[in-house]
Amino acid sequence: MQRRITIAWIVLVAVALAALPSCGTPTSTESIKIGVIASITGSIPAVGQSTVNAANLATGEINDAGGLEVGGRKIKVELVIEDDQDRKEAATSSAKKLINQDGVVAIIGPQASRNAIPAAAVAEAAQIPLLSPWSTNPETTAGKKYVFRTAFIDPFQGRVMARFAIEQLNANSAAVLFDTASEYNRGIAEFFRQVFQDAGGQIVAFESYTTGEQDFETQLAIIQAAKADVLFLPNYYNEVPMQVRQAHEAGVTATIIGSDSWGQITPEALADMEGLFFSTHYAADAASPAAKEFIAAYQAAYDTLPDDVAALTYDAFGMLFQAIVAQGTTDPESIRNGLASIGRYEGVTGSMEYQGAGDPVKSAVILQIKGGKFQYYTQAEP
């Protein structure tokens, strides 16, 4: 049977149950600790800020309603937030601290795959549930029982953008520029290349760099000479505007396309990116009723439009809360079992179905940059 449980629904249940006679139910409020690992500092702080904002919003809604109703007890949620500094070493140590010192029952994050992969290994070894909202690299969940995500994975995203380039942009040739030192960038670049070639397209340049580089003159000269129809940039929001600007300066005429790591590009940086396309997890301007409620609450709390990281993080908390309520207990093993048995979850980023693993089957959206804003262009189904 399809389940349609959101955080708003959980809040309503909590309020209704709290109004009933106690019938001997303990009235003292207990609490559980949930860990959050976010890149608050480092190279992608916008991702960290969205993570913390959504975490506070989701838990605030539950706590304001009296807490989660778990087995006849009201349970408040306490967040323990750690900064992974966008470094895999810090992500690993954060996961160990949350588990061994803070005693969390579950962890939300990290977000970037390069940090989520090592943290997931720690959580799996400790048998503590971990949900990474934004990580799309398959390795994050591969072979693991305790690790889940609310994002689609890179084989799907790479296929979406390769097919989009061929079928809607009429591209016959493509170039790729990617960070070879980052699991996310490298993985999606390789998936894009494979699907594009399998569909009959030609990869005329497959150029790499390493994290922290800022001069792409050599790579872009090769790409410019190759005369590709599209240039795929599956790189993070702090790098892409600079790469686009340098590509234009180098005379690259290809249509530039990207991936979900573009979602935090600032309005100021979008001026040089008019007309470009990228895949992501939801479109604020084509939101479902549940997503509109989330967007309104987020804007009221933070005076800004929530990005994909915020939306995915909110969904991760919704899944976690649903699992706890359904299981009627807060021990990590039961929470893991609750997450594994969710099946279908209706979130603000759309309907996601779990088929015996931690990776959801869900759709993607493609946005176009127009007038300094992200605008819905089309949807891609799994």
Domain count, the chain: 2
Q: Is residue 241 part of a domain?
A: yes
Q: pLDDT tens for residues 47-67?
A: 999 999 999 999 999 999 999
Positive/negative CA dihedral, 316, 146, 92, 214? negative
Q: pLDDT tens for residues 287-344?
A: 999 999 999 999 999 999 999 999 999 999 999 999 999 999 999 999 999 999 999 9
What residues contact residue 180 under an 8 Å CB cut-off, 6+ apart? 186, 208, 209, 210
Q: Of 280, 300, 328, which residue is a domain's last? A: 280
Alpha helices (runs of H) in 168-307, residue ranges in sequence order = 183-198, 217-226, 240-249, 289-302
Task: Give the CATH number, domain containing residue 235.
Answer: 3.40.50.2300
Q: pLDDT tens for residues 193-251?
A: 999 999 999 999 999 999 999 999 999 999 999 999 999 999 999 999 999 999 999 99
pLDDT band of residue 21 (cuts 50, 70, 90) is very low
Is residue 25 scored above 70 in pLDDT?
A: no
The residues pairing with 34 across neighbouring beta strands, listed in sequence order, are 79, 106
DSSP conformation class of 135: -
pLDDT at residue 35, rounded to an integer: 98
Q: Is residue 34 part of a domain?
A: yes
Alpha carbons within 13 A on the beta-carbon side of 261: 33
Q: What is the mean pLDDT of residues 356-371?
A: 96
**What is the signed CA dihedral for 91, 140, 151, 85, rounded to 10 degrees?**
10
Q: Of 280, 297, 327, which residue is a domain's last? A: 280
Is residue 96 scored above 50 in pLDDT?
A: yes
pLDDT at residue 80, rounded to an integer: 98
Q: What whole-number percentage of the chain has pLDDT above 70?
A: 92
Which two three-digit tokens encode residue 210?
């390493």
Q: Is residue 271 part of a domain?
A: yes
**Is 232 strand, coil or helix?**
strand
22 and 90, same domain (yes or no):
yes
